[in-house]
Amino acid sequence: MANKWRHTHTHTLAHTLRLSCACVHINSQVEKFNLRFSYAIATRPFYGANKYVLNGAVFDEDHDEMVVVKDIEMFSMCEHHLVPFYGKVSIGYLPCNKILGLSKLARIVEIFSRRLQVQERLTKQIAVAVTQAVQPAGVAVVVEGVHMCMVMRGVQKINSKTVTSTMLGVFRDDPKTREEFLNLVNSK
């Protein structure tokens, strides 16, 4: 069933790309590119951070101090321009008797970044996924990205970076907790 869906959508997207190329007089020799690109988009994971992805890596632990994993590499594709953006993600959460395997934080970043995306939504999706996984007192996510749509086209500002954040729970409500997280993230 999934393979049939993937095949159908891959060929539909390839056909759409072929028509788009024809409209702007791009050589039809890009046909193989259309199919490869369509396959790459159609086969990206579109599931959330469910039990399968977390793979049992939620542990009962009497720990109530901040957990921070910073500088998780991220690569994504701008859904507005179909060009890449990349950067680093930092995630912090304040556990309430449940902790998440550290590699699963990176896996959550991977799941949501490996699809057509905008950085603002990506930031929020990561925070919500961590919240759903371990029901912490709060979650904080900061994403710093370089967008090729700003670098290689349009305004062509090669040194620009976009920073987005989502603060949930205690990170949103308590300035001291938020400040502690931001200091840890910004430390070298």
Q: Which residues are catalytic?
A: 78-81, 119, 147, 149
Closest by CA position to 53, among listed 145, 155, 125 = 125
Hey, what are 95's tokens? 């556990």
Closest by CA position to 124, among listed 162, 165, 153, 155 = 165
CA distance 68 to 72: 11
Give CA angle at 11 (24, 147), nearest 5°: 60
Residue type, 49: A
